[in-house]
Structure 1
Amino acid sequence: MFAKYAKPGVANPHDTDSTVDAEPADEVAKRDERSVGQRQHDGLKMVLRDALASGTLGQHRGLPVTVVATMTVKELEDATGQAITGGGSLLPIRDVVRMAAHAHHYLALFDDDGRPIYLGRSKRIAQGDQRLVRYAQDKGCTFPACWRPSSMCQCHHCREWVAELGRTDVDQLALVCDSHHRLAGVKDTDWNTIVAGPDHKYPGRILWVPPKHIDPTRKPRINHYFHPHEYWDLD
């Protein structure tokens, strides 16, 4: 791969005459001032980008293997700040805008309280668009203090799903990692999940109610890990 894509004059982002398919012209190769390491970096970056754009990498938890980044409209308009990816990485907005030039775009809308606009499904499995909404709102596992990002999470039904009456509505879903998903249930010995109501400090967020043997008062808990702006509100 390096023999092909890391030689002088190939895949040079600073030279519009640089080539990929054909052999580079001598003058193009001569004016390539990148080091070997820089050329290898640019070549590897191009190959990985083409792999992501190919559509042949299959799916991961119901979504195509790709980059999912979320940000606010204000951050996008101001071109400042950082977006967060499904894997928990931070990307400068300017890089996201550049990447979006050749990407498939989705728009997730929320009301003034931060709750997702209603999007319901009668199927058991959360659909791709619903998972994207949860990516945008939860950003990772909702279990208190869990650090696992969205790409390591399943979609959990806060309201118990039954085949006859169950629905898979986006406002009743939550991102939960595999480890903590096993703790969730409806018994007194399980961790129960509920959606915070409109009068809650964080309406629409996922609350975890501990079992009695952990907390006799069963006080609901929330995960602030992926919402650092809330750290100032902690007691």
Structure 2
Amino acid sequence: MEHIAEAGSEQLDAVLDLVAALAVRVRGNASEALDVVSRIDALCDRLQGVRMDLLHEAQVSGEPGLSAAERLHATNRVSLSSSRRDVRLACDLSDRFSLIAQAWRDGVVSGQQARGIVAGLKHLPVAMTRLQLDACQTELVGFADRLDPDELRVVAERMAEVIDPERAEALEADRIERDARIAHARRALVVVPDHQGSMLIRGQVPIADGELFLAQLTALTPSAASYRLTGELPDRSARRADALVRWCGIAAASGQLPATGGDRPQVLVTLGLEALVHGMGAGTMLASGEPLSAGEARRLSCDAHITPTVLGGASEVLDVGRTHRFFTRPIRAALVLRDQGCVFPGCDAPPAACEGHHTRPWWSGGTTCVSNGVLLCPYHHRLVEPDPNRSAQVQWQILIDPGNGLPWFTPPRQIDPARAPRLHHRFLLRGTGPPPSQEQDWARSLPQVARDPQ
């Protein structure tokens, strides 16, 4: 047996050498390179089909007490969960879906198409005869040149309409009901810190609840254009994360969340006075004990739904912020009337998704009033929150025009060397004049030697 394996290994190595040589020959020619990629994919698919046969053989003829999946995992090249999935599929192909297995080995279907077909067919009635199951497989293999793996799975799930059209509707209803029960039983949401500055969120919900969740999240997802001036080009997953934060802000601002112990949900943050004023040190999220950067603590200290506890040098409590000390309902109502949403140029976040921001930080003596406040979404609030350890020239600055009360944004010099003030497009039709030219008084206390903006 060892001689057979060695001979086969030498032949496979020879094939790999030929493919590597072919890859060298097509360098510089995109069309030919993609053609070779397609041929390699087809070859890999056929090899994977043969691999499935070998996995089934190893499972049925292996030594008792040690499964093929465990032996495969022992090579350290594949996880145990992946090994078990592959062995289950190999057994399904051999026991029930032999025509799909043959089409996979022959290169008629790809590995992904084969997996999609099997996943769909496993939803069909168990009472199906062998002839009926073979008829389904033959039909589906015929669609392989026209349908992708997901489409083949959907068609496979509906093959009962071909096999038993009279009972198809009832069978489909039973399947959907069974799936709904399973989905409800499996619903879960896990939220845990990764201890590296992030919170990991993963879970699953029934499809109807998931569609509702996705619809709301999509409505709140910022447009790519709203990030244009930030120097960042986040992908859709990052923008959806920002949308989830918006959603939490809307819920927090609604005043309709249930009270616990007589109080509304809020976040408690402890931070040292040095961290608050000078950016030295860090804060702590009281609920989880996770550390929080000084910049994040300063941003959170602006918001009405955060209660910062300021500690002195010996950790004595110097001040406990109360929600009514921050942007009160009347002040917020005035900001909503004036700003109509996030005022950062290009952002489309609605007022309910925004936080109040002091243009002159309250840690620098700024007051909580309409003339010193603007609405910002959490993403842009984090972007413009001043850092006392960096030069004003490398930070965004906001100046409220004393004449009309509109907020102008001066970009950092790494984004615009001229630092030309910007105004949100929603204010451009209000008869605005030139931007104010005076510098914010508090900004003069920041370092005048620009540091690396990164």
Common fold, TM-score beyond 0.5? Answer: no
Pick the TM interval, shorter chain: 0.3 to 0.5
TM-score by length of 2: 0.23
TM-score by length of 1: 0.42
Q: Which has the higher contact order (CA 8 A, sep 6+)?
A: 1
Q: Highest CA radius of gyration, 1 or 2?
A: 2
